Amino acid sequence: MHGVIPSDTIAAISTPIGEGGIGIVRLSGPDAIEIAHRLFRSPRRVDIRGVPTHTIHYGHVLFNGETIDEVLLSVMRAPGTYTREDVVEINCHGGIVAVRLVLDAVLASGARLAERGEFTKRAFLNGRISLDQASSVLNIVRARTKLGLEVAVDQLGGRFSEQIALLREQIASLLARIEVQIDYPDEDIEQQGLLAEIGQLAVRVERLLTASSHGKVLLEGLTIAIVGRPNVGKSTLLNALLSEERAIVTEVPGTTRDTVEEIAVLGGVPVRLIDTAGMRQPGDPVEAEGVRRSQEAMKRSDLILLILDRSCELSAEDMSLLQREWDRPLFIVLNKIDLPAAVRRSAIGSRAEAHPVFEISGKTGEGIDRLEQGILDRLLGGEIAGRSSALLLDVWERDLLRRLHESLSRAGGVLEQGASVDIIAEGLRAAHRIAGELQGIDADEEVLDQLFRRFCVGK
User: Domain 221-380 belongs to what topology?
Assistant: Rossmann fold (3.40.50)
CATH number of 140-217+394-439: 1.20.120.430
Cα–Cα distance, 82 to 79 (Å, whole number): 8
- Average pLDDT over every residue of 395-413: 90
Which of 30, 87, 37 is closest to 59 using CA atoms? 37
Which of 30, 25, 26, 24 is closest to 9 using CA atoms? 30
Is residue 252 predicted with pLDDT exceeding 60? no
Q: Where in the chain is the domain with CATH 3.30.1360.120?
A: 10-129
- 79-93, 263-277, 399-413: least confidently modelled range: 263-277
Q: What is the per-residue pLDDT for 257?
A: 41
- 16-25, 114-123, 311-320, 346-355: least confidently modelled range: 346-355
What global pTM score does this model have? 0.65
Q: What is the per-residue pLDDT for 100?
A: 94
User: Over the stretch 167-223, which tens digit does the pLDDT of each residue have?
Assistant: 999 999 888 888 766 655 555 556 677 888 999 999 999 999 988 887 877 777 788
Decide if 259 contacts 297 (C-beta within 8 A). Answer: yes
Q: Sorting pLDDT into bands at 50, 70 and 90, what band is 265?
A: confident
Please report, for residues 75, 92, 221, the alpha-carbon distance to residue 147 in angstroms, rounded to integers and kept in the order given.
Answer: 34, 33, 12
- Looking at domain 10-129, its CATH superfamily turns out to be Probable tRNA modification gtpase trme; domain 1 (3.30.1360.120)
3-state secondary structure of 311: coil
Q: Sorting pLDDT into bands at 50, 70 and 90, what band is 161?
A: confident
Bridge partner list, 335: 309
Q: Where in the chain is the domain with CATH 3.40.50.300?
A: 221-380
Q: Where in the chain is the domain with CATH 1.20.120.430?
A: 140-217+394-439
Q: What is the per-residue pLDDT for 434?
A: 92
